[in-house]
A and B are shown apart, each in its own frame.
Chain A
Amino acid sequence: MKKKMRVLWLSAIACNGNTHSFLNYPYMEQFLDDFEFIYHPVIDSEYSLEDIVSKEITCDILLIEGAISKEFKRADVSVVDIIEKYSKIVQKIVTVGTCATFGGIFRESGYEETSGLHFDQEEPLKTHQDLLDKTISVSGCPVHPEVLVNTLYAIKKSVALKLDNFLRPKEFYAYTVHNGCTRNEYFEYKVDNHRFGELEGCMFYDHGCQAPFTHGSCNKILWNEVNSKTRAGLPCMGCTEPAFPRQNLFSTKKNMAIPENLPVGVGKRVYLTLAGISKAFKIDRLEKKLFDD
Chain B
Amino acid sequence: MIKLIEKIEGEAKLNFNFKDNKIDFVDIEFMSTRNIENILRGKNAFDALVINPRVCGICGHAHLIATVQALESCYDNLKLSNKAKIIRELTLNFELIQNHFKWFYLTMLPLFGHKQQVLKATYPSQLMGKAIALFGGQYPHTSYAVVGGVVCEITEIDIIKLQHYIAQTLKFVEDNLLKTMSENFLTCEDADALLDYEGDLPDILRQIKKEGFLEHGKSYDRFISFGHNSYFKKGKSLNAKVTHNISVSHVKESEMPSSFAKNVSFKDKYYEVGPLARAMVNKTPLVADAHKKYGDSIFSRILARVCEISQLLQHSKELIKDLDLSEESYIEPSIDISKLTASGYSAVEAARGTLIHKVEIENGMIKNYEIITPTQWNLSGGTKDKHGVSQKAMIGLSDVKTAELVFKSFDVCSVCTTH
Give A residues with C-beta under 8 Å from B.
11, 13-21, 23-26, 28-29, 32, 41-44, 48-50, 72-76, 105-106, 108-110, 141-142, 195-199, 218, 223-234, 237, 239, 245, 247-250, 291
Q: Is the CB of A50 within 8 A of B4?
A: yes
Between-chain CB contacts (< 8 Å), 18 pairs: A15-B34, A17-B60, A21-B140, A44-B116, A48-B6, A49-B4, A75-B4, A108-B35, A108-B39, A109-B39, A197-B150, A199-B153, A224-B126, A226-B134, A227-B134, A233-B153, A237-B143, A239-B141
B58 touching A233 by the CB < 8 A rule?
Answer: no
- Known: A16-B56, A23-B121, A228-B137; 16 extra A-B contacts, CB below 8 A, are A15-B57, A15-B60, A24-B139, A41-B9, A48-B6, A105-B51, A108-B39, A142-B57, A198-B153, A225-B130, A227-B137, A229-B144, A232-B137, A237-B50, A247-B43, A249-B49
Interface centre among A15, A74, A109, A142 (most CB of B within 10 A): A15
Number of residue pairs A-B, CB distance < 8 angstroms: 197
Question: A115: shortest Cβ distance to chain B, in Å?
Answer: 15
B106 in contact with A43 (CB, 8 Å): yes
Whether B44 and A249, one on each chain, are in contact in the complex, defined by CB atoms closer than 8 angstroms, is yes
List 7 A-B pairs, minimum CB-CB distance, nearest first: A197-B330, A197-B329, A232-B137, A223-B138, A16-B57, A229-B137, A17-B57
The SS class assigned to the B binding surface is: mixed
* A28 and B119 form a contact (CB under 8 A): yes
Among residues of B, the one whose C-beta sits closest to the C-beta of A290 is: B153
Question: How many chain-B residues does the 8 Å CB contact rule pick out?
Answer: 68
Q: Which of B's residues lie within 8 Å of A, judged by CB?
A: 4, 6-7, 9-11, 31-36, 38-39, 43-44, 46-47, 49-51, 54-58, 60, 84, 102, 106-107, 110, 116, 118-119, 121-122, 125-126, 129-130, 132-144, 146, 148-153, 155, 161, 328-330, 332, 415
* Cα of A24 to Cα of B126 in the assembled complex, Å: 5
User: Which of B9, B35, B332 sits near A195, CB closer than 8 Å?
Assistant: B332
* A40 → chain B closest CB, angstroms: 8
Residues on B with C-beta less than 8 A from A230 are: 137
Q: Which residues of B contact A110 (CB under 8 A)?
A: 35, 38
Closest to A233 in B: B151
Indicate which residue in B9, B55, B57, B84 contacts A21 across the interface (CB closer than 8 Å).
B57
CA gap between A245 and B48 in the complex, in Å: 11
A111 → chain B, closest Cβ, in Å? 9
Bound: A41/B8 CA distance, A: 8
Name the residue on B nearest A218 (C-beta): B138
Residues of B within 8 A of A43 (CB): 106, 116, 118
Asked whether, in the complex, the Cβ of A195 is within 8 Å of the Cβ of B330, the reply is yes
Most A-side CB within 10 Å, residue of B50, B102, B143, B150: B50
**Alpha-carbon distance A131/B126, docked complex (angstroms):** 35
User: Is the pair B35, A109 in contact by a Cβ cutoff of 8 Å?
Assistant: yes
Contact B139 A223 (CB under 8 A): yes
* Min CB gap B134→A, angstroms: 6
Residue from the set A24, A106, A197 with the largest chain B CB neighbour count within 10 Å: A197
Closest to A140 in B: B141
Inter-chain CA distance A196–B133, complex, in Å, is 17
